[in-house]
Amino acid sequence: MSNPTPHIGTVHLVGAGPGDPDLLTLRAARLLTQARLVVHDGLVEPAILAMAHPQARLVSVAKRRAHHTMPQEDICALLVREALAGNDVVRLKGGDPLVFGRGGEEAEACRAAGVPVEIVPGISAANAAGAAAQIPLTHRDHASVVSFVAGQCKGLSEQDWSGLAGVGRTLVIYMGVKTAPQIAEKLMADGLAPDMAVAVIENAARPEMRVLRGPLAALPALIDDNKVKSPALIVIGEVTRERDVALAAIAVEARI
Ligand code: SAH
């Protein structure tokens, strides 16, 4: 008699959104409350982890060995090992798993090992920041193109950003706090006006959110003087001025 086929668990790559539990999808919330194993990274808020099943094993892959994240191969190996052992895994990631979240690599590793994968979208930081700061990423009069770019150091100087920002376009930069001086320089060297409007949104959609505004030339000072920390997004484009309209309306409402 042949052995029964061993049960293989499913890896659910789940977007946790920007941090507010109210901004989880219903599917994400349901999976979380049912999960027996949750593998999460550092951007996931404790309030969201608290929604996990009381008996769930919570595994953080964020901070190991003096603040180093677990290497990506080890995370993939962990997901595959658990699924092959028959465990369903909720792999919880900040924002959307497929926007600068390395969800693609984790899905590939699972598929290569014969592990079924489900991907549950989450509200990405750009969407959350736009809504929370009342800055529309596109606007009939001001922007019909929006680009998402990673601003971390690696390879920044070799990348071609020409055409990503300017009149009629919105550029959203993830992971750009540390490299803001190089980013501003790069964009101005490409011909972007030094007075192009910029917004920095720190901790979007969380109670401690800050929205800072200024011209592109002052971006590094804006970040430095205000001691902006990650997680923060940089939004470049005319649409950021729409926040003035929103704030003026709020001021009028407050006076009424
Ligand atoms: N997958 C995530 C992005 C991960 S990259 C998503 O879809 O949102 C990490 C970067 O996302 C941070 O450096 C920051 O630029 C941005 N970010 C994530 N959460 C944020 C938040 N609440 N407010 C502002 N920026 C945020």
Tell how far the Cα of 217 is from the centroid of ligand 1, in angstroms. Answer: 23
How far is residue 61 from each of residues 3, 68, 91, measured CA to CA in Å?
A: 35, 9, 10
Average pLDDT in the chain: 92
pLDDT at residue number 68: 67
- In the sheet that 37-40 helps form, which strands lie side by side, from edge to edge? 57-60, 37-40, 89-93, 11-15, 117-120
Tell how far the Cα of 193 is from the centroid of ligand 1, in angstroms. Answer: 26
For ligand 1, atom 5, which residue shows the shortest CA distance? 100
Tell how far the Cα of 21 is from the centroid of ligand 1, in angstroms. Answer: 15
pLDDT at residue number 157: 81
Of the candidates 74, 97, 120, which is a domain's last residue?
120
User: Predicted confidence band at 2 (pLDDT cuts at 50, 70, 90)?
Assistant: low
Span 92-137, pLDDT tens digits: 999 999 999 999 999 999 999 999 999 999 999 999 999 999 999 9
Of the candidates 101, 120, 139, which is a domain's last residue?
120
pLDDT at residue number 155: 80
Q: Does residue 62 surpass a pLDDT of 50? A: yes
Longest dimension (CA), the chain: 80
Count of CB atoms situated within 10 Å of the CB of 25: 16
User: Predicted confidence band at 152 (pLDDT cuts at 50, 70, 90)?
Assistant: confident
Q: What are phi and psi of 197, to 5 degrees?
A: -70, 140
88 flagged as catalytic: no
Is 13 within 8 Å of 97 (Cβ atoms)?
Answer: yes
For residues 181 and 74, state if they share a domain: no
Of the residues 20, 41, 88, 96, only one is catalytic, namely 41
Residues 23 and 21: their CA atoms lie apart, in Å, by 5
For residues 135 and 240, state if they share a domain: yes
Q: Does residue 34 surpass a pLDDT of 60? A: yes
Is 215 within 8 Å of 238 (Cβ atoms)?
Answer: no
Residue 250 lies in a domain: no
pLDDT at residue number 67: 60
For ligand 1, atom 6, which residue shows the shortest CA distance? 95
Q: Is the pTM of this model over 0.85?
A: yes
63 flagged as catalytic: yes
Residue 208's nearest CA partner among 225, 231, 239 is 231
Is 61 within 8 Å of 70 (Cβ atoms)?
Answer: yes
Q: Give the domain range for residue 238.
A: 125-245
User: Predicted confidence band at 65 (pLDDT cuts at 50, 70, 90)?
Assistant: very low
pLDDT at residue number 123: 98
Q: Does residue 200 surpass a pLDDT of 60? A: yes
Residue 65 lies in a domain: yes
Residues 179 and 160: their CA atoms lie apart, in Å, by 16
